[in-house]
Every structure is written in structure tokens, then in C-alpha cells.
Amino acid sequence: MEPYRIKAVEPLPRTTRPQREAALRRVHYNLFDLRAEEVTIDLLTDSGTGALSAGQLAAAMAGDESYAGSASFHRFRDAVEELTSYPHILPVHQGRAAERILFSTLAGPGRLTLSNTHFDTTRANVELAGGEARDLPCPQSRDLDGPGPFKGNIDIEALRAVLDGPEASRVALVLMTVTNNGCGGQPVSMANLAETAAVCRRHGVPLFLDAARFAENAWLVTRREDGHRGRTPRQVAQEAFRLADGCLMSAKKDGIVHVGGFLGLRDSALAQRCELLLIATEGFPTYGGLAGRDLDMMALGLAEALDPGYLASREQAAGHLAGRARAAGVGIVEPPGLHAIYLDAGRLLRHIPAHRFPGQALACQLYLEGGIRSVELGSLYLGREDEQGEPVISAPYELVRLALPRRVYTRGHLDHVGDVLARIAGDVLARIAGDPGSVPGYRITEQAPVLRHFRVRLQPVPVGATTSRPSGSSRYWASSHSAGG
Ligand SMILES: *Cc1c(COP(=O)(O)O)cnc(C)c1O
């Protein structure tokens, strides 16, 4: 069971089906453009959407808002140093600010960063700094149904090959994303992390953690990796941070705060250079773009996220939703992690070809049937079409992500999602058999040249029952990034 009870509640927005139909038409079938009060269960992202604890709210009241040297900063710094072992902790307003500061200091023009998978803002900040971001996910990450316990790992052989090859001198740093958000939220094993650290040390290349979900990764290590069962998530997390030379942190995930992050560094000279940028662009180093109360809430959130009872209930919640999806006949990315369930829309809505976006069709059905907001991670996100709307690049899998905000939804809410999935997989599929046009595909009417899914406009188009989907290359899934957190 959840290791907390509820002290403050917020009514869920309720809508009628005609209202939801009108809302979808108004936003041109782009769920990012819905107003939040039109959404009953919001599974768009787990970023900054968690519930604060009574302890965090109390700490917020005790926050010290001094411009420099605030007590809040010192409490925050001590807590983060104890967890990470890094002597230099630079607070920032969110993860991507830490990315910008680190990469513009360390990974300039011509430099190369290597990662198990760069998150989308991470890649963008490497490229903005003039560098090149290269993903080296392990081969198992490409197998959607595979049972691998650590499909988020980096491909060690590929890493060695780059560091032993002609490009070695270009490598600025290696970045391990835990858990691997771009690869279905799959975890990284301690063995893989330790081996990566050894390879990096041998080549004199710094290793950083993109630690947004460090606690969830640590939990899955204690559950799945020999030699770590029976350890606490805190012990595993501490060891993970100690294997690296620093970290980038978006505390909107496992910091369980609405905004916040930090850059942790071992190297004093590097910290000094980063601090200059911090002062110029985020704020004085004892607040870094945050209020004192934010620092106190973050310090506490980082500790609460490591509570084994909380992590166990989060794993059970994700497992419960995964079980409901499987029981409804909806395939998912296996095995489920903690922060999200990824539905295989391509297999469910076989009558919709990739360039008519079966993932978006399922996301729209989830909203229509149950007021549930999710995000498409398929060909709308990764694909490209020509002027006539014919496919040029398709995603290898047509996925829909149901992200799970921390401490927000109960089993009852997840059962509502399960019921809606079952209804879609039952009624709707029966309807499709009689009349394929009843669950339409979508055509793009307007799009931006990059990150098109955020601002895209769509129009429903009927699709035939017999259209087959072109199968894409798995390389594309491997180099994919997830959306907005
Ligand atoms: C969310 C996220 C980021 C970016 O952090 P923001 O706080 O959204 O700026 C970076 N890396 C990973 C793995 C993330 O999940």
C-alpha cells in the first residue's frame, strides 16, 4: 500500500464526452494544447507533477530567503553532498540549466558526448554548445518485449570502440542517464555503471550521471541485480554517484518538487568555471535561480524519494497498470519500470498505418473515452513524411506513454485508466472490425521543422481495414528521445 495518507485534496476535473470531442477539435487533436482543467487523469509527464509532503511544506515555511549564504542553501548542500559525495553543488532552476552550464563549459565545438541515450533537452544543449551527442544504447534496448532486467545499459563494446578509435580525442564526457528515459525508462545496472567508470578512467574521460530518476534506478537495482538485493536504495544511489565525476539533476523527477535541479561536481577548477556561468545566467551560487524554500523542499524530496516503502508502492502501481494493460490485450514495453508504462499502439490499432499515427489515435481515444491525457512516442514524434504525407521515416514502434506523477494518483485512478483501456481494446476494436473508419488515423495540417509533436496540428482521416504498416528500423528507437520530461 501507499506509505502515506492524504491530508489535502483537489477535485478532479470532470467533462462530458461532447465537451471532450469539442476540446479535441479545438486543439486540432494535439493533446499538449488542452487546458489542464479539460483533463481528468493527466499522465502526460512525471516531471514537476508530484505531490509535496507535509514535511516539505513545513520546510518551505522554514525556508531562508536571504540573497546570499541562506540557511536553506547550507541544509540543501549538506544533504546533497551526503548523498552524492560531490564537494561542489550548484543549484539551478531545472535540469536543462545544469546541462547548458556543463556543456558550454566542457563540450564546445567539435567535441563529442557519449551516452546510453541523451534525453531530448540534453542532446539539444550539447548541440547548442556546438558539440555532437551520440547514443550508444545496449542491443537489448531494441527488443520491446524482451525480459532484460537492465535494458537501459550503455553498449560497453561500442563505448570502448569509440574511446580506442580515431575520435577518442574529441570525447568531452560520457553521460549515463539513470533511468534511461529515452529507452522506455529502463534501468542501468551497477555492473554496467562500474564498467563504464573503469573504461572512462582508463581513457581520462569524465563520467557524469544524468540522475533525474536516480532513486528509481537504485530501487530497480536492489530488485533485479545480484549482489545488490537487500541493500537500501540509498546505499546503491550513493555508490552510483561515487562512481561518477559529477551529475546533472532535474529534481522535478526524483527530487519530488515542482521546480529545481542542481549540478554536482568533483573537480574544483571545473566547478569554478561553471560557477561563473551560474552567476551570470541563473543566480548567485547559494540560490541558483531558486527560492530558499525550493532548496529546502528539494533536500527533503531527495530523501523521501529513497524511502523503500514509497519506491515499492510506486513499483506496484506501475506493475498494476501494466497488468491491467496486458489483461486488456494491449502490449507494453517490457518489463515495466517505475515512472511510466509504454503502450504498443501499433499492435493494437493495426488498421492505422504509421504515417496515420496509431499512437496519436490511441492517445485521442484515451482522452475521448476517459479524459486521460498521455503522450504519443511513435511516428508523430520521430517520423517524417513527404509533401504528399507519404512516409519517409517511420518510428520502429508506435508507442503511447502513460507517465505516473509521484504520490498523486491512487489505485482507483489507475483502475479507471485500466477500465478505459479495456473498453478501447474491446468495444472500439469490435467497432473497427465492422467499420474501420470509426477509429480514424490522423493527417498533419501544420508542423514545425523540429520537435514537431509539441505544436503540431492534425485532422482525422478515415483509414481502411487492410492497410499494413511499414516496419521501421530499430536504429531509430535506439536513438530516440522522450518528450518534455
Ligand atoms: C527531465 C529530464 C531532463 C531535463 O530536466 P528539466 O528539469 O525538465 O529541465 C534531463 N534529463 C532527463 C533524463 C530528464 O528526464
Q: What is the pLDDT of residues 1-56, one digit of tens each?
A: 999 999 999 999 999 999 999 999 999 999 999 999 999 999 999 999 999 999 99
Residue 6: inside a domain, yes or no? no
Q: Are 285 and 136 in the same domain?
A: yes
CA–centroid distance, 244 to ligand 1, in Å, is 18
288 and 314 inside one domain: no
Report if residue 335 sits inside a domain: yes
160 shares a domain with 80? yes
Q: Mutation test of ligand 1: which of 116, 123, 250, 404 has the most ligand atoms closer than 8 Å to its C-beta?
A: 250
Predicted confidence at residue 429, as pLDDT, reads 78
CATH number, domain with residue 428: 3.90.1150.10
Under DSSP, the state recorded for 13 is: P
Domain match, 225 and 238 both: yes
C-alpha pair distances (Å), 432 with each of 106, 323, 348, 364, 438: 54, 24, 11, 15, 6
Residues carrying an active site annotation: 67, 119-120, 210, 212, 253, 453
Is there a single domain that holds both residue 101 and residue 73?
Answer: yes
| Residue 48 maps to a domain | no
Higher pLDDT, 482 or 227: 227
Q: Which residue lies with its CA nearest to atom 5 of ligand 1?
A: 95
- Core vs surface per residue 395-423: b (16+ CB within 10 A) or e: bbbbbbbbbbbbbebeeebbebbbebbbe
- For residue 18, the CA-to-ligand 1 centroid distance in Å is 36
Give me the pLDDT at residue 480, please: 37
Between 66-80, 302-316, 340-354, 403-417, the lowest mean confidence (pLDDT) is in 340-354
Residue 369 CA, ligand 1 centroid: distance in Å: 30
Mean of pLDDT values over 440-454: 87
Residue 7 lies inside a defined structural domain of this protein: no
User: Same structural domain for residues 375 and 398?
Assistant: yes
Count of the separate structural domains present in the chain:
2
Find out whether the beta carbon of 482 lies less than 6 Å from any atom of ligand 1: no
In this structure, are 151 and 203 located in the same domain? yes
| Cα(176)–Cα(136) distance, integer angstroms | 10
**Separation between Cα atoms, residue 332 and residue 341, nearest integer Å:** 7
Residue nearest to atom 6 of ligand 1 (CA): 95
Arithmetic mean of pLDDT, 153-166: 98
Domain co-membership, 236 together with 385: no
What is the identity of the amino acid at 245? D
Task: Tell whether ligand 1 has an atom less than 6 A from the beta carbon of residue 485.
Answer: yes
Residue 388 burial by Cβ neighbours in a 10 Å radius (0-12, 13-18, 19+): exposed
Q: Domain boundary at 268, 284, 305, which?
A: 305
At residue 183, does pLDDT exceed 80? no
Q: Is the CB of 360 under 6 A from ligand 1?
A: no
Residue of the nearest CA to atom 3 in ligand 1? 95
- Give yes or no for residue 50 CB within 6 A of ligand 1: no
Question: Looking at the DSSP assignment, which residues form a beta bridge with residue 92?
Answer: 261
What is the model's pLDDT at position 163?
A: 98
Closest CA to 259 of 234, 282, 236: 282
- pLDDT above 60 (res 469): no
Q: Quick check: is 473 in a domain?
A: no
CB distance 180 to ligand 1 below 6 Å: no
Confidence of residue 142 (pLDDT cuts 50, 70, 90): confident
User: Where residue 160 sits, what CATH number does that domain have?
Assistant: 3.40.640.10
Report the separation in Å between the CA atom of 258 and the middle of ligand 1, taken as the mean of its atom positions: 13
Q: Is the peptide bond before 449 cis (omega within 30 degrees of 0)?
A: no
Q: Is the pLDDT of residue 402 over 90?
A: yes
**Highest averaged pLDDT of the listed ranges 87-101, 114-128, 377-391, 435-449:** 87-101
Pairwise CA distance, residues 119 & 209, whole Å:
12
Peptide bond into 179 cis (omega under 30): yes
Q: Is residue 191 one of the residues assigned to a domain? A: yes
Q: Per-residue confidence at 290, pLDDT binned at 50, 70, 90?
A: very high
Q: Torsion-angle region of residue 457: left (phi > 0), alpha (psi -120 to 50) or beta?
A: beta
The span from the CA of 482 to the CA of 484, in Å, is 7
**Residue 477 domain-assigned?**
no
Looking at the predicted structure, is the pLDDT value of residue 80 above 50?
yes
pLDDT of residue 484 exceeding 50: no
Q: Is 209 helix (H, G, I), strand (E, B) or coil?
A: strand
Distance CA 241, CA 72 (A): 23
User: What are the CA-CA distances from residue 192 to residues 38, 173, 205 (Å)?
Assistant: 43, 17, 16
Q: Is residue 478 part of a domain?
A: no
Same domain, 142 and 74: yes
Distance from the alpha carbon of residue 303 to the mean position of ligand 1, in angstroms: 19
State which ligand 1 atom lies nearest to the alpha carbon of 250. 7
Question: Is the domain of 74 the same as that of 176?
Answer: yes
How is residue 446 written as a grid cell? 501544420
pLDDT band at 472 (very low <50, low <70, confident <90, very high): very low
pLDDT of residue 449 exceeding 90, the answer is no
Shared domain check, 354 and 260: no
Q: Does residue 388 register a pLDDT over 70?
A: yes
Nearest CA to ligand 1 atom 4: 95
Residue 328: predicted pLDDT: 94
Q: Is pLDDT of 465 > 80?
A: no
End-to-end CA distance of the chain: 27
Q: Are 343 and 252 in contact (CB under 8 A)?
A: no
Model confidence over 315-332: pLDDT tens digits? 999 999 999 999 999 999
Measured between alpha carbons, how far is 81 from 67 in angstroms, rounded to an integer? 21
Find out whether the beta carbon of 44 lies less than 6 Å from any atom of ligand 1.
no
- In this structure, the answer to whether residues 216 and 352 fall within a common structural domain is no
Check: CB of residue 227 under 8 Å from CB of residue 235.
no
Pick the atom of ligand 1 nearest to 259's CA: 7
Residue numbers of the domain that contains 324: 17-39+308-461
pLDDT at 230: 93
